[in-house]
Amino acid sequence: MGSITPSEAALPGNGQKSKPDAPRGESSKLFTPLTIGNGTLTLSHRIILAPLTRNRGVPLNNTTPNRVWYPGSLITEHYIQRTTPGGLLITEGIPPNLVGNGMPGVPGLFCEEQIKGWKEVVEAVHAKGGYIYAQLWNAGRASIPQHTGMPTISASATPYVDGECYPYPPPGESAQVKYEDFPPTELSVERIKEQIADYVKAAKSAVEVCGFDGIEIHGGNGYLPEQFLSSNINMRTDAYGSSPEKRCTFLLELMSALKEEIGENKLALRLSPFGMYNQARGTQRLETWGYLCRELKKSMQLSYVHFIEPRYEQVYSLEEKEKYLESWGFPDIDLKLFRDIFGDTPFVSAGGWNDKNCWGVLEVGTYDAFAIGRLFLSTPDMIERLKKGLPLNQYDRSRFYGPFPEPEIGYTDYPTYEEAEKVGGKILIK
């Protein structure tokens, strides 16, 4: 971990440090243009709002249980606040269907009210000169049937282990339940095709009706696509499992169908080849994700690819994740393998980037841009602050995941530097 301090190692992080003599502020490569979408969009800078699930959707029905949420004016305001001319925002994970929604308060993209709400978000971002991609997210087995009103789904009927609980009590109850008490159902081939069709329908609505500049598939963090990729979850013996190559079939078919519907210029993908979230603990990482990426590169030219740093993990400290990587035989692993595979496809890195470690990294050429989430949440004017060397706001972790009675707190009430100065407020340094 080099010069990573003990206090840093005790937190989630990516193990990266800025180059000592790196240009900072406006002279950094962070503030140079980047072309995505195969030449169709030119970003004015290389700091992207990472997807942030914050459960601020408006319930469609005032009944219990409500199972559908749509984006209201508060979500629109959240994205407006973080829009910069020529900057790219990636939305929170948007479920393409009801069974794919893993949490309450998350607005989907499968009914009229949701489509209307997302269209208003897109129009507001475009009015400020920004760009926005919709991230499509299917939680798969990372849900419970009480939440969606139907059995959960996955590559196989593989339950969670070790007593991990769903983070919310079931509707109308006060206590959390264990995932393992509600194992998923294995998708038949017919139902696999139905899930792909739902993704395609949502992507078409996103691009053609809402006006999104493109869509990103969430292929990581232990959600449905990664459940197919993970050998400890996918126990199938048909064309969708049993080998690294076959475990890639679902995601390759999904991306192919999306390419045919909306075009590769508007299609991107997020992956976490070394992630462990949602108990994705499979083996053959390099074989599986290497094959997947080579096949994707051969068959399509994506708008960009989006990878999570190997040492960053939401549920483990940097020190703990380093130990896992060492136990897998990856003590010095990085994302260069995947950058080499994708070549000239714009390459975005996410996980653990901040105002201390982002300088001089893009200049090396492994990455083309950073996706930053939590600090962009707490610092709506982060782009301007990084340009000027101003400190960032601290985020309030307790306000990450709603729903909340006062949803604006810890969501749209973070001050800009100028606002904080006007009222004599203290800018908290991360």
Alpha-carbon span 65 to 101, nearest angstrom:
14
> What's the number of CA atoms in the CB half-sphere (13 Å) around residue 165?
7
User: Does 160 qualify as catalytic in the annotation?
Assistant: no
Q: From 314, 300, 185, select the one nearest 251 (Cα to Cα).
A: 300
Catalytic residue among 79, 160, 223, 417: 223
314: closest CA among 366, 274, 259? 274
Alpha carbon of residue 81 to chain centroid: 19
Could you identify the residue written with the tokens 């475990």?
247
Instruction: Give me the phi and psi of 174, to 5 degrees please.
Output: -115, -10
Facing residues of 107 across strands? 69
CA max distance for the chain: 64
Q: Is there a contact between 345 and 36 (Cβ–Cβ < 8 Å)? A: no
Sign of the CA dihedral running 129, 399, 51, 383 = positive
**Comparing C-alpha atoms, which of 265, 266, 284 is closest to residue 274?**
284
Got the DSSP string for 231-261?
A: TTT----STTSSSHHHHTHHHHHHHHHHHHH
Amino acid at site 122 = V
Distance of alpha carbon 62 from alpha carbon 84, whole angstroms = 36
How far apart, in whole angstroms, are the C-alpha atoms of residue 420 and residue 411? 16
Catalytic residue positions, numbered: 223
